[in-house]
Chain A
Amino acid sequence: MLRKLFNFHGGVKPATHKEESTLSPIAPVPLPDRLVIPLHQSVGGHPRPLVQPGDRVFKGQRIGAADGSLSSAVHASTSGLVRDVVPAVMPHTSGLTTLSVIIEPDGDDRWGELERVNFRSTPPDELRDFLRDAGIVGLGGAVFPSHLKLKPGKEGALQTLVINGAECEPFITCDDMLMRERAGDMLKGIIAMRHMLQAREVLIGIEDNKPQAIAAVQAAIAASGETGIEAVAIPTRYPAGGAKQLIRVLTGIEVPHGRRSTDFGVQCFNVGTAYSIFEALERGRPLISRIVTVAGNVDAPRNYEVLIGTPMDHVVRLAGARAGTDRYIMGGPMMGARMPAFDVPVVKATNCILVGSPALFPPPPPEMPCIRCGECAKACPADLAPFEMYWHSRAKNFGKAQEYHLFDCIECGCCSFVCPSHIPLVDYFRFSKSEIWAREREKEAADTARDRFEFKNFRQEREKQEKAEKLAAKAAATREKVGADGSAAGAAAASSGTAPAKPSGDDAKRALIEAAMEKARQQKAQVQPKNTDAATPAVQAEIAAIEARRQVSATHPTDAPPDRPPSSGA
């Protein structure tokens, strides 16, 4: 049965270079002398280190605990000694450092205790926690914590689970080889995900330049006897493997920027993620290794099963880097990132180490002015007008760039790929996005500071007012009291024969002062021990009861009932 496929706009067809690295099976990598495992390997919070220098760790032992819900755990990839927990250069173009655990392997490669989980009998919340603690993240490159995506939407069930085996980037073949060699186990992971999402159907999208992978997956589906799971060959066109593009091709649904695909009844996972979920659930093994393609300027391009934290040059050495190598690119030639050094570690996001040379990836010809030919718009899979965004980005007119949907750009690189003026369009868009984020952060900080300042002013003002009111009330109360005392004193004076005088201003003031002094005396007296302090507990209880009664009668004067009687409703 042929499934109806949908089309996405644009796209390009760069030379695929995939054959070279699929000639030999996935190979293991000998243990390196040192593993550098960054604690922050997924989207979200930075995991806290759970080990200290000098600790011995098992293979698969958790060394970083997820920080909050949007985060994922990190594990020791082999057994050995924790040498250090220090910032180390991370595999990112910026060359910035990140807190990493340095492990010296002991060579035993000894697993700790492995905990398996039956996904059918475990409550979903526990399963998600288990996957978070197993460090499962999206292996297609985005490294988004998978447990957060394994929730069915509001309806409690999903229409379609899309499994991404498209692998549209040139040179990369890790998903291809995974599907060829481990389709059965990958399918078990998919079945577990389908269970968690309550998905009605599963569509595994694979570009039609991978016939062997398609055949292997179809055979595995047939062998499993599962229904509602289909491996679908899709036309080879970059970026068919973009999650949104693949969802579009398979289901016809376009998930807009900023919306969750589950709102549309779809969720998408990479085939490698499915396999790592199988490893975690059925073998109890957390995510400590992944398949990495080594390709480009090497003698024997190939896929390797690489422990997370292995220095890249250790892996490349096996494939034999050729002369002229001037850079490693993590990922493919379209979206990959140039590495700041050769010995940065392989991380969960490393699907490919592309060894570059000036001959393989020559510097682009000089940038020419934009001639508005519209080639970029024709190639854009997000239906954008890159030349308009470029125009406004270049002028730092970021508001306008956003009006042309800058943030819908997925940075696939198609526009730069086709531009006859050799303009690095994606670089302009990355620049604009980071500028806008920086400005928003600044604005937020300024807003917070202003709010804080305004609140401080308001608080000071309020306190001043409250103080004044309190003083005024107190003064009024005292005046009243003094007035009462004064009349009593007047009566006394009348009886003693002196003329009763209405308290004049001076007298009132004097009375206030006297009242204040009296109060001070009373306060002083209170500090001195009361005679009741030495009483027996029984007597003290009695006193307390009396005090309580007095309190109640003081707050509820007898002439005003505490509650309004129901009859006086009118």
Chain B
Amino acid sequence: MINSPFVRKPASVQSVMLQVLLALVPGIAAYAWFFGPGILVQIALATAAALAGEAAVLAIRGKPVALFLGDLSAIVTAWLIALTFPPIAPWWLTVTGTLLAIVIVKQLYGGLGQNPFNPAMAAFCLMIVAYPALMSQWPAAGQLDAGTQLELIFGGARQIDAITGATPLDALRTALRGAADPASTLHGLRAAQLMDGPAFGLIGGHGGEWVALGYLLGGLWLLQRRIITWHIPLAFCAALFAAAGLLWALKPEGFASPLFHLASGGAMLGAFFILTDPVSGATTARGKLLFAAGAAVLTYVIRVFGAYPDGIAFATLLMNICVPLIDMKTQAPVFGHKKD
């Protein structure tokens, strides 16, 4: 029996996910342009693994496989995994990570809409804990040609340290710690001087800042399409800017500028695509602000004082845990119960 309403807006989970995928395209294009085609291979690997893993579990659970594969949510997870893993990660690392995300973090919790944790970020955390070295090898922009990248992804032996460096975030942290240490050869260098090096671009990492710009453009398009609301991106960027700005203002020679933090690593991806995952994120307006600001502060703390190349993934998971509480405590007053 079908009851009112008898009309519906032409909206679907599929179209929501499709628009998210489209919004990622500018960022991916910049990524491939600056860092080589390895990222495209990773996206293909992750997509295939995600679809295969999702289909298998759906079949076991007795769910309509075509319907749920068609919602494209697994592909969004796959792309986020590919974009957060190093582009030269060996194929099995990407595939294992993706399968963990889809099978364990998403499907074992009940599938679409039921996972308390962001699957892509959970996969990132699992893999960086299990394979810290492989997950920390990032090529600099234009450093590796397509053939080398493919060889690294599919080949066996890796003479990795010779050809890759750390991420700009990592490099800066190591250098700044060195600079603060009187015994180091880097002693006396300032953050601003460090950033004149070849790994750095105008405000962020060389090349990476353009990828971040691509994510920003895609994210703004999602905002305009009303797929996401302004709360999470704005609160995340503002809080990250504030946290970085505070320490930078206190000690400019010891900390990177807030703009560098916004343009580096996964900040833009996190602000517009990762934290905005509705399933694992906060849902109320005030809750979203809290959730994103908390994630930003945690990200900054992990980036500056932690040991991992970027803090977005751990920050996201930590804030995911807080979501039920945040949502419960930030319910807006309903009609007729507002205080004027």
A residues in contact (CB < 8 Å) with B: 8-9, 12, 14-15, 93, 170, 244, 248, 254-257, 259, 329, 331, 333-338, 356, 361, 363-366, 368-375, 377, 381-385, 387-388, 404-405, 408, 413, 416-422, 424, 426-427, 430
Known: A333-B6, A335-B4. A256 touches B337 (CB 8 A): yes
Complex: A373 Cα to B67 Cα, angstroms: 19
B283 within 8 Å of A (CB atoms): yes
Complex: A363 Cα to B3 Cα, angstroms: 10
Q: How far is the CB of A368 from chain B (nearest CB, A)?
A: 5
A-B pairs with beta carbons under 8 Å apart, 16 shown:
A93-B3, A244-B336, A338-B2, A368-B12, A371-B279, A374-B278, A385-B283, A388-B283, A388-B327, A404-B331, A405-B334, A416-B5, A417-B7, A419-B8, A421-B13, A427-B3
Q: How far is the CB of B124 from chain A (nearest CB, A)?
A: 21
B4 touches A170 (CB 8 A): no
CB < 8 Å neighbour of B335 from A93, A256, A366, A430: A256
Extra inter-chain contacts (9) besides given A374-B229, A383-B335, CB under 8 Å? A331-B4, A333-B6, A365-B12, A368-B112, A371-B16, A374-B278, A383-B334, A385-B283, A427-B3
B5 touches A426 (CB 8 A): yes
CB-defined interface of B88-119 with A at 8 Å, one 1/0 digit per residue?
Answer: 00000000000000000000001111100000
A387 touches B334 (CB 8 A): no
Pick from B6, B111, B112 the residue with the most CB of A within 10 Å. Answer: B6
Pick from A356, A421, A430 the residue with the most CB of B within 10 Å. Answer: A421
B335 touches A419 (CB 8 A): no
Chain A hits for B336, CB < 8 A? 244, 254-257, 259, 408
CB < 8 Å neighbour of A385 from B2, B12, B112, B331: B331
Complex: A369 Cα to B113 Cα, angstroms: 6
Q: Which residues, 1 to 40 on B, are CB-close (under 8 Å) to A?
A: 1-9, 11-13, 15-16
B71 within 8 Å of A (CB atoms): yes
B148 within 8 Å of A (CB atoms): no
Q: How far is the CB of B33 from chain A (nearest CB, A)?
A: 32
Chain B hits for A336, CB < 8 A? 4, 6
B249 within 8 Å of A (CB atoms): no
A417 touches B9 (CB 8 A): yes
CB < 8 Å neighbour of B278 from A8, A338, A372: A372
Complex: A366 Cα to B278 Cα, angstroms: 21
A368 touches B13 (CB 8 A): yes
B56 within 8 Å of A (CB atoms): no
A371 touches B113 (CB 8 A): yes
Closest to B338 in A: A254
Q: How far is the CB of B253 from chain A (nearest CB, A)?
A: 44
Complex: A255 Cα to B336 Cα, angstroms: 5
> Which are the 8 A-B pairs with shortest beta-carbon distances?
A256-B336, A413-B5, A369-B113, A361-B6, A420-B11, A382-B335, A254-B336, A333-B6
B279 touches A372 (CB 8 A): yes
CB < 8 Å neighbour of B5 from A259, A334, A365: A334
Chain A hits for B4, CB < 8 A? 329, 331, 333-338, 413, 426
Q: How far is the CB of A293 from chain B (nearest CB, A)?
A: 15
CB-defined interface of B39-78 with A at 8 Å, one 1/0 digit per residue?
Answer: 0000000000000000000000000100100010100000
B278 touches A364 (CB 8 A): no
Known: A329-B4, A333-B7. A244 touches B335 (CB 8 A): yes
Complex: A413 Cα to B229 Cα, angstroms: 22
Chain B hits for A374, CB < 8 A? 229, 278, 283
CB-defined interface of B313-340 with A at 8 Å, one 1/0 digit per residue?
Answer: 0000000000000010001111111100
CB < 8 Å neighbour of B6 from A356, A375, A387, A420: A356
Known: A256-B336, A373-B278, A405-B334. A418 touches B11 (CB 8 A): yes
Complex: A427 Cα to B5 Cα, angstroms: 9
Q: How far is the CB of A168 from chain B (nearest CB, A)?
A: 13
Q: How far is the CB of B290 from chain A (nearest CB, A)?
A: 15
Chain A hits for B331, CB < 8 A? 385, 388, 404
Pick from A329, A356, A370 the residue with the most CB of B within 10 Å. Answer: A370
B164 within 8 Å of A (CB atoms): no
Closest to A372 in B: B278
Chain B hits for A413, CB < 8 A? 4-5
CB-defined interface of B212-233 with A at 8 Å, one 1/0 digit per residue?
Answer: 0000000000000000010000
A420 touches B13 (CB 8 A): yes
Chain B hits for A385, CB < 8 A? 283-284, 331-332
Chain B hits for A15, CB < 8 A? 7
Complex: A170 Cα to B8 Cα, angstroms: 12
A335 touches B16 (CB 8 A): no
Q: How far is the CB of A8 from chain B (nearest CB, A)?
A: 8
A420 touches B12 (CB 8 A): yes
Chain A hits for B334, CB < 8 A? 382-384, 405, 408
Chain A hits for B112, CB < 8 A? 368-369, 371
B2 touches A364 (CB 8 A): yes
Known: A373-B16, A374-B278. A381 touches B6 (CB 8 A): no
Chain B hits for A422, CB < 8 A? 8, 12
Complex: A372 Cα to B113 Cα, angstroms: 7
Q: How far is the CB of A467 from chain B (nearest CB, A)?
A: 57
Closest to A256 in B: B336
Chain B hits for A368, CB < 8 A? 12-13, 67, 71, 112-113
Known: A14-B7, A420-B11, A420-B15. A381 touches B335 (CB 8 A): yes
Complex: A14 Cα to B113 Cα, angstroms: 27
Q: How far is the CB of A171 from chain B (nearest CB, A)?
A: 10
Q: How far is the CB of B14 from chain A (nearest CB, A)?
A: 8
Q: How far is the CB of B321 from chain A (nearest CB, A)?
A: 16
Closest to A248 in B: B335
Complex: A259 Cα to B279 Cα, angstroms: 36
CB < 8 Å neighbour of A417 from B8, B73, B327: B8
CB < 8 Å neighbour of A363 from B2, B111, B229: B2
Closest to A382 in B: B335
CB-defined interface of B176-217 with A at 8 Å, one 1/0 digit per residue?
Answer: 000000000000000000000000000000000000000000
Q: How far is the CB of B21 from chain A (nearest CB, A)?
A: 15
Complex: A405 Cα to B113 Cα, angstroms: 23
Complex: A12 Cα to B71 Cα, angstroms: 24
Q: How far is the CB of B326 from chain A (nearest CB, A)?
A: 13
A420 touches B3 (CB 8 A): no
Known: A254-B335, A334-B4, A338-B3. A377 touches B283 (CB 8 A): yes
Pick from A170, A337, A363, A369 the residue with the most CB of B within 10 Å. Answer: A369
Q: How far is the CB of B119 from chain A (nearest CB, A)?
A: 13
Complex: A385 Cα to B282 Cα, angstroms: 12
Q: How far is the CB of B18 from chain A (nearest CB, A)?
A: 11
Q: How far is the CB of B332 from chain A (nearest CB, A)?
A: 6
Complex: A93 Cα to B114 Cα, angstroms: 34
Q: How far is the CB of B107 from chain A (nearest CB, A)?
A: 12
Complex: A416 Cα to B111 Cα, angstroms: 22
Complex: A420 Cα to B16 Cα, angstroms: 8
Closest to B113 in A: A369
Q: How far is the CB of B161 from chain A (nearest CB, A)?
A: 42
Closest to B14 in A: A420
Q: How far is the CB of B143 from chain A (nearest CB, A)?
A: 39
Closest to A410 in B: B335
Q: How far is the CB of B224 from chain A (nearest CB, A)?
A: 15
Chain A hits for B113, CB < 8 A? 368-372, 421
B5 touches A371 (CB 8 A): no
Known: A369-B111, A371-B13. A383 touches B332 (CB 8 A): yes
Q: How far is the CB of A221 from chain B (nearest CB, A)?
A: 30
Q: How far is the CB of B67 from chain A (nearest CB, A)?
A: 6
Complex: A421 Cα to B284 Cα, angstroms: 19
Q: How far is the CB of B129 from chain A (nearest CB, A)?
A: 28
Complex: A394 Cα to B110 Cα, angstroms: 15
Known: A382-B335, A384-B334. A424 touches B283 (CB 8 A): no
Chain A hits for B333, CB < 8 A? 383
Complex: A248 Cα to B67 Cα, angstroms: 42
Q: How far is the CB of A334 from chain B (nearest CB, A)?
A: 5
Chain B hits for A331, CB < 8 A? 4
